[in-house]
Amino acid sequence: MSIESFMQTLVFGVFVGGIYGIAAMGLALVFGVLKMLNIAHGELLMLGGYATFWAFRSFGMDPFVSLAIGIPILFAVGLALDRTVYHRIVRLLGEEKIKNSLLVSFGLTLVIQNLAVWLFTADERTVQVAYAGTGLNLLGVTLPYTRLLALGIALVTTLALSYFLHRTYPGKAILGTAEDFEAAELAGINIHRVYMLTFALGASLAAIAGTLVTVIYGISPSIGIVWTLKALIVIVLAGTGSILGAFPAGILLGVVEATSGAFIGSTYREVIGLVIFLLVLVLRPQGLFGRNQ
């Protein structure tokens, strides 16, 4: 393999990894604060992707601009899901909570996916922007504009979330609740409002990831569970409890997948994520950026 094609593979790994990072961040946020694992996160991502697709199809809106529509829609979906389903689980304790969240969100995965097939048909949809196919050429390595933009948005989102969590009042309330919900409640934080806000924020992050996925890969109702899986692997890699660590961990997964996929053949590329998952559990169960418990 020439240096150039290796570099190209590496760069594409970074691009893909940025999306993995954003897809995982929403899940990590919900997991870190509500201590629930939302298997339906990928389905929220899929819904976000459809919001982008319809904005593009109906109004010719640029997919990156349509985030302004997709994010509020998914924020509302997140609020609704929290009110109807998840707030019943968040009251449970410990193992019972995580187990029930797994079961319920797995059921929800099926519901949302089949509703999407019913509403949007099972066809794969793509968004073709005018500047697709064009890009920068840097020392023989192609950097398509859509992917550069996607990576940029992923990065900006990570920084914005970091600012929100560490520098603003509601953000600090979220982190405080993640740390110790009883102490947070004693300090006067309305933790149920925090849970609701966090879940809706997680759904909004899924909307961003869904838009990026739609622009770069296209979308169909069945993609949800695949992205849930990527997000779960990234979370384990980053370390459960590390929210912002999802971004570098996502990039790492993207790069490792891309480079090793070039060696073992792309049809076996999916296996790598699973191997990484198992290796991390055996060698470093607290993850790369997680705190030692």
- Which residues of the shown chain bind other proteins in the complex (CB under 8 A)? 37, 39, 85, 88-89, 95, 98-100, 102-104, 106-111, 114-115, 117-118, 225-226, 228-229, 232-233, 236, 240, 267-268, 270-271, 273-274, 277-278, 281-282, 285
CB nearer to other proteins: pick between 88 and 166:
88
- Closest listed residue to residue 201, CA positions, set 43, 22, 74: 74
Task: Report in angstroms how near the CB of residue 42 gets to other proteins at its nearest.
Answer: 10
CB nearer to other proteins: pick between 157 and 242:
242
CB nearer to other proteins: pick between 110 and 160:
110
Tokens 């109906």 locate to 58
CB nearer to other proteins: pick between 79 and 229:
229
Task: Report in angstroms how near the CB of residue 180 gets to other proteins at its nearest.
Answer: 18
Distance between CA 286 and CA 237 in Å, rounded?
8
CB nearer to other proteins: pick between 93 and 130:
93
In this structure, which long-range contacts are made by residues 183-190, counting pairs with CB atoms below 8 Å and at least 24 apart in sequence?
none
CB nearer to other proteins: pick between 104 and 244:
104
- Measured CA to CA in angstroms, residue 160 lies from 64, 109, 278, 291 at distances of 17, 28, 32, 23
Task: Report in angstroms how near the CB of residue 280 gets to other proteins at its nearest.
Answer: 9
Helices marked H in 168-245: 169-179, 181-186, 191-216, 224-238
CB nearer to other proteins: pick between 107 and 140:
107
Asked whether the beta carbons of 41 and 20 are under 8 A apart, the reply is no
- CB atoms under 10 Å from CB of 270, counted, come to 13
Task: Report in angstroms how near the CB of residue 98 gets to other proteins at its nearest.
Answer: 5
Task: Report in angstroms how near the CB of residue 8 gets to other proteins at its nearest.
Answer: 22
Task: Report in angstroms how near the CB of residue 115 gets to other proteins at its nearest.
Answer: 6
Inter-helix orientation angle 246-264/145-167, to 10°: 150
- Closest listed residue to residue 20, CA positions, set 230, 201, 238, 243: 230
Task: Report in angstroms how near the CB of residue 234 gets to other proteins at its nearest.
Answer: 11
Distance between CA 92 and CA 98 in Å, rounded?
9
